[in-house]
Structure 1
Amino acid sequence: MPARIVVTIWRVMKTRKFRRPNAADLSDYGCFVVLALGVASLQMIDISLIYHVIRGQGTIKLYVVYNVLEIFDKLCQSFGEDVLQVLFNSAEGLSACSTDNVTFELMRFILDEAIAVVAFVVHSFVLLAQAITLSTCIIAHNNALLALLVSNNFAEIKSNVFKRVSKENLHNLVYYDIIERFHIMAFLLFVLAQNILEAEGPWFDSFLINASLVFLCEVLIDAIKHSFLAKFNEIKPVAYSEFLEDLCKQILNDKPDDRQKDLTFIPLAPACVVIRVLTPVYATLLPAGPFIWRIFWILLWSVLTYFMLAIFKIIVGLILRCLANWYVNLRLTRKQHVD
Structure 2
Amino acid sequence: MMSSLDPSRLYHSIRGQAVLKLYVVLNVLEVCDKLCCSVGVDILDALFSKSTLGSSTSEDTGSATSYARRQLKPITLFFMACGYMLLHTSVLFFQMITLNVAINFYSNALLTLLISNQFVEIKQSVFKKFERENLFQLSCSDIVERFQQSAYLMIITLRNVVELSESSPSSILPSTFVPLFKLPATTSLNTLMTPVVMVIASELIVDWIKHAFITKFNQIRPSIYSKYIDVLCKDLVVGSPGRHSAGKKNAFIDQSPVVSRRIGFPSLPLACMAIRMMQQLLPMIFMSGHADASVATNGAPSSSVASMITNGLLNYLMDHQGTVSRLLPARIQLVVLSMVRCGWLERGLDRTVRFMTWTLLVLVIAIILLALKVLVGMTLLGFAYKRYASMEEREKMDDEKDKEMREMNKPEEEYKQQLKKYLNDPADNVMGKVPIKYTLDNVDRFSMVRSRIP
Compute the TM-score of the two structures, normalised by the length of structure 1: 0.77
Provide the rounded CA distance (Å) in 2 between the counterparts of 1:102 and 1:300: 47
Pick closer, same or farther for the CA change 1:95–1:248 going to 2, 3 Å: closer
Cα offset, 1:103, TM superposition: 4.5
Pick closer, same or farther for the CA change 1:335–1:115 going to 2, 3 Å: closer
The one-letter code of the counterpart of 2:44 is L
Q: Give the equivalent residue in structure 2 for 1:22.
A: none
Provide the rounded CA distance (Å) in 1 between the counterparts of 2:51 and 2:283: 39
Provide the rounded CA distance (Å) in 1 between the counterparts of 2:77 and 2:138: 28
In structure 1, runs of 5+ residues without a counterpart are 1-40
CA contact (8 A) 2:37 2:264 kept: no
Alignment of structure 1 residues 242-321 onto 2, 5 Å: 242-253=227-238, 262-284=262-284, 285=286, 288=303, 290=348, 291-321=351-381
Pick closer, same or farther for the CA change 1:206–1:106 going to 2, 3 Å: farther
Q: Give the equivalent residue in structure 2 for 1:129.
A: 94
Given candidates 30, 53, 56, the residue that maps to 1:97 is 56
Pick closer, same or farther for the CA change 1:217–1:330 going to 2, 3 Å: farther
Pick closer, same or farther for the CA change 1:78–1:254 going to 2, 3 Å: closer
Residue by residue over 1:117-167, the C-alpha shift from the partner in whole angstroms, topping out at 9 and shown as x without a partner, is 111211111111111111112112322464133222022222222332321
Provide the rounded CA distance (Å) in 2 between the counterparts of 1:96 and 1:330: 40
Residue by residue over 1:266-295, the C-alpha shift from the partner in whole angstroms, topping out at 9 and shown as x without a partner, is 311111111111112222437755444433
Cα offset, 1:45, TM superposition: 1.1
Pick closer, same or farther for the CA change 1:336–1:169 going to 2, 3 Å: closer
The one-letter code of the counterpart of 1:81 is V
Provide the rounded CA distance (Å) in 1 between the counterparts of 2:357 and 2:51: 38
Q: Give the equivalent residue in structure 1 for 2:33.
A: 73
CA contact (8 A) 1:120 1:268 kept: yes
Q: Give the equivalent residue in structure 2 for 1:164.
A: 129
Cα offset, 1:178, TM superposition: 0.9
Residue by residue over 1:222-271, the C-alpha shift from the partner in whole angstroms, topping out at 9 and shown as x without a partner, is 112222322333322221111112122233336679x9983342311111
CA contact (8 A) 1:195 1:203 kept: no
Given candidates 118, 132, 156, the residue that maps to 2:83 is 118
Provide the rounded CA distance (Å) in 2 between the counterparts of 1:297 and 1:223: 46
Q: Give the equivalent residue in structure 1 for 2:437.
A: none
Provide the rounded CA distance (Å) in 1 between the counterparts of 2:240 and 2:91: 34
Provide the rounded CA distance (Å) in 1 between the counterparts of 2:264 and 2:237: 15
Provide the rounded CA distance (Å) in 2 between the counterparts of 1:182 and 1:102: 44
Aligned residues: 297
CA contact (8 A) 2:46 2:52 kept: no
Q: Give the equivalent residue in structure 1 for 2:224.
A: 239
CA contact (8 A) 1:249 1:324 kept: yes
Provide the rounded CA distance (Å) in 2 between the counterparts of 1:190 and 1:273: 10
Provide the rounded CA distance (Å) in 2 between the counterparts of 1:47 and 1:330: 48
Pick closer, same or farther for the CA change 1:232–1:337 going to 2, 3 Å: closer
Alignment of structure 1 residues 106-255 onto 2, 5 Å: 106-144=71-109, 146-199=111-164, 200=167, 201=169, 203-253=188-238
RMSD of aligned Cα (Å): 2.9
CA contact (8 A) 2:26 2:95 kept: yes
Greater gyration radius: 2
Pick closer, same or farther for the CA change 1:245–1:196 going to 2, 3 Å: same
Pick closer, same or farther for the CA change 1:255–1:186 going to 2, 3 Å: same
Provide the rounded CA distance (Å) in 1 between the counterparts of 2:393 and 2:72: 53
Tell me whether 112-121 or 201-210 shows the greater mean CA deviation: 201-210
The one-letter code of the counterpart of 1:270 is L
In structure 2, runs of 5+ residues without a counterpart are 170-186, 243-257, 291-302, 304-346, 401-454
Q: Looking at both structures, which has the greater relative contact order when contacts are Cα pairs under 8 Å and sequence separation is at least 6?
A: 1
Residue by residue over 1:20-64, the C-alpha shift from the partner in whole angstroms, topping out at 9 and shown as x without a partner, is xxxxxxxxxxxxxxxxxxxxx221112223212322233333222
The one-letter code of the counterpart of 2:234 is K
CA contact (8 A) 1:73 1:127 kept: yes
The one-letter code of the counterpart of 1:315 is L
Q: Give the equivalent residue in structure 2 for 1:11.
A: none
Q: Give the equivalent residue in structure 1 for 2:384.
A: 324
CA contact (8 A) 2:33 2:88 kept: yes
Given candidates 52, 59, 70, the residue that maps to 2:12 is 52
Residue by residue over 1:288-339, the C-alpha shift from the partner in whole angstroms, topping out at 9 and shown as x without a partner, is 5544443333322222111100100111122223333444556555445564
**Which has more helix, going by share of residues?**
1
Identity over the aligned pairs, expressed in percent?
33
CA contact (8 A) 2:215 2:222 kept: yes
The one-letter code of the counterpart of 1:241 is S
Provide the rounded CA distance (Å) in 2 between the counterparts of 1:185 and 1:268: 17
Provide the rounded CA distance (Å) in 2 between the counterparts of 1:220 and 1:114: 42
Pick closer, same or farther for the CA change 1:278–1:44 going to 2, 3 Å: same
Pick closer, same or farther for the CA change 1:320–1:116 going to 2, 3 Å: same
Compute the TM-score of the two structures, normalised by the length of structure 2: 0.59
Provide the rounded CA distance (Å) in 1 between the counterparts of 2:394 and 2:147: 31
SS of residue matched to 1:262? helix
